[in-house]
Amino acid sequence: MIPFRKIVPLFFIPLFIVSCKQNKKSDTPLKQEMPVATYEEPYRPQFHFSPPKYWMNDPNGLVYHQGVYHLFYQYYPEDIEWGPMHWGHATSKDLLKWEHRPIALFPDEHGYIFSGSAVVDSANTTGFGTEANPPLVAIFTYHDPEGEKDGKKDFQTQGIAYSLDNGDSWTKYQGNPVIGNDGIKDFRDPKVFWDDRSEKWVMALVAGDHLQLWGSQDLKSWHKMSEFGRGKGAHGGVWECPDLFKLKVAGTEEEKWVLLISINPGGPNGGSGTQYFVGDFDGERFTSDQTERKWIDLGTDNYAGVTYNNAPNDERIFIGWMSNWAYAQDTPTDTWRSAMTLPRTLSLQKMGAEYTLFNYPVSQLSELVETGDAQDKVLEVATKDTIPFDHLNQAQIAFKTTSKDYVLSFKNTMGEELVLTMANTQQLFLLDRVVSGKTDFKEAFANTIQQMPVDQLPEGEYEVRVLVDRSSVEVFLNKGQYVMTAQVFPSEHYNLLAVENTGASPLEMKALKINKIKGIW
Ligand code: FRU
C-alpha cells in the first residue's frame, strides 16, 4: 500500500503540471519563502551531504563516470515535506566534498520521478550516444499521482532518460515507460547493472514485498527473468530500493552476491530498515539459503541505501538516506530536511559458516580528520572519566579495547545526553536518545532504546569508532561488522564525553583519539 505520506494533496496538482510544462521550477508561489542556505543553520550536518534547501529522501542514480561521483536524490524543491518527486543532483571528485548541480529530472506526463539508478552505457547499447561518448542512462520509477488517486493499481511504471554531457542535462526517452504495470501497486526502484557473465543489463525491481529480476540488451526492451523473496527475510512492510552486486569474500577468491532490500515499516528498531541477503546469481536467478534476518545497520536512520555503479577499483560504495519514514517529515529543521550517511565501503567476511556484510566509512574520510593527540586510558573498575571536548558535535571518537562493558555518554550543559552502552551480559549494544535533545516532534522518534545484538564480536581487541555530526551519530564496531546510525537533535552542542566502566576488570581504551572533523561546505 502507498503509505499515507505519499497521498499528495490536490493543492500540488496544478503546481506539478506547471513544472512539467516549463521544465523548470514553477512560478506558483512557494508554500513558504526559504532563506539562502548557509550550512550554518541549527542541526545542519558539516561533513555529510544535505540539500541546500527543501526536502530530500533516497539516494538515486549513484554512478561514477569520467572522474565524477554522481549523487542524485529524491527531491521536492518546493517544501520541506515530501511532494512531487524530482531527481536532485550533486557531484564530487572524492565522495567527501559535494557540489550542488541543477535538478536533473522533473516530473512529466507519466508522473513523478521516484527512485532508481544510473549506468554508463559504455557499448552504447541504447544508441543514445556513441562509443566515443557513451551515454549516462538513468532508470527510474514513474509514479502517476492521478492513477493513485483514482484507486488504480498500475500507477508505477519504469522509465529511462539519458545524458551525453556527464549528467549536466537529461533527455527523457520517447518510448517511456519501458516497463508497464499489470496491476502491482508497489512496483518500483529499479537498480540496473551490466552482468558480464550473461552479457546483458539486469534490473532488480521490487514488487510489493518481493523482488523481481528483469533482463535487457538495450535498456529499452525488458523481459522478466525471476522472482525472489517470498517467505525469505523480513516482510513487516513493503520492499523498496533493491540493490544486487557481487563481492569477493575477504581473504579468499570466493565470490558471492549480495542483495540489499529496504523495508518500511518492519525495520529492526522500528519503522524503516535495510536488510541484506548473501547468495548466488546465475544471470537469471538470485538464490540464497540464508535463514537468519540480517541488517546492514541496526540504527533507526539508514534507509533506502544503494551502491555506486562503475566505481573505480571495483570498490562497492554505499550511501543511505539518514532518516526513517516513521518521523522523517517531522524532524526539527526549518529550511531543509535530512542528510545522507557517510559514503561507506562494503566488504564481505565469512565468520564461521555465515557471511557478514561489513560497512565502514570510505578511507579518504581521514583527510577530514583534524589531527589530535592519541591518549591511552585505563579506567579502574567502577570508575568514570569525563573528557571535555568543545567540538564533540562535529567529531570522531575512536579507540581499541577488549572490554564489552562500558557506557559512552555525549552530554551538554542542559542535561541532555546520547548514551551508547556495550552490555556484555545481554550481548547487546544500545543507543539511547531518549533524553538526547529535542525528541517531542514525533512519538516514534525516541520512545525506545535502540538495540543491536553483538554476539559475533571478536573475543580479542576490536575498534570502536563513532562519528558525530551535529544531528547524527554513526557507530562502527570492529571496522563495520556492527553499525548503528541515528539522528539526534540536542538543544545545545554536546561538549563532554563521559566514559564509564561497568565491567569487573579495568577498562582499557587504547589509542583513544577524539578529533574534530573538518566541515565540507
Ligand atoms: C523509499 C521510497 C521509494 C520511492 C521513493 C519515493 O524511501 O519510498 O520506494 O521510490 O521513496 O520518494
- Tell me, what's the pLDDT at 376? 87
* Cα angle: 258, vertex 341, 234; to 5 degrees: 45
Least confident of 3-17, 80-94, 99-113, 151-165: 3-17
pLDDT value at residue 17: 34
346 in Cβ contact with 307 (< 8 Å): yes
Give distance in angstroms: CA of 114 to centre of ligand 1: 6
State which of 115, 140, 205 you would mutate to test the pocket of ligand 1, scoring each by most atoms of that ligand within 8 A of its C-beta: 115
At 26 the pLDDT is 40
Catalogue the active-site residues: 58
Residue 30 has pLDDT above 90, yes or no: no
pLDDT digits (tens, 9 = 90+) for 138-166: 999 999 999 999 999 999 999 999 999 99
344: DSSP letter: E
138's CB contacts (< 8 A; 6+ apart) are 60, 61, 72, 87, 104, 105, 116, 117, 118, 160, 161, 162, 163, 170
CA dihedral 145, 63, 100, 271 (to 10 degrees): 50
Task: Give the number of residues written for the chain.
Answer: 521
Average pLDDT over residues 470-498: 98
pLDDT surpassing 70 at residue 236: yes
Tell how far the Cα of 427 is from the centroid of ligand 1, in angstroms: 34
Q: Which atom of ligand 1 is nearest to the CA of 272?
A: 7
Give the mean pLDDT of the chain: 93
> Hey, what's the torsion of the CAs at 399, 427, 301, 449, to 10 degrees?
-110
How crowded is residue 146: how many other Cβ atoms within 10 Å of its Cβ?
A: 12
Instruction: Enter the C-alpha cell of residue 274.
Output: 535495510
Verify whether ligand 1 is closer than 6 Å to residue 115 (CB atom).
yes
Output the CA 421–ligand 1 centroid distance in Å. Answer: 33
**CB of 205 shorter than 6 A to ligand 1:** no
Using pLDDT thresholds of 50, 70 and 90, give the confidence band for residue 318. very high
Q: Ligand 1, residues 241, 262, 272, 303: which to mutate, most atoms within 8 A of Cβ?
A: 241
Does residue 240 have its Cβ closer than 6 Å to ligand 1? yes
The gap between the terminal CA atoms of the chain, to the nearest Å, is: 39
Assess whether pLDDT exceeds 50 at residue 3. Answer: no
- Is the distance from the beta carbon of residue 85 to the nearest atom of ligand 1 less than 6 Å? yes
Q: For 272-315, what is each residue's pLDDT tens digit?
A: 999 999 999 999 999 999 999 999 999 999 999 999 999 999 99
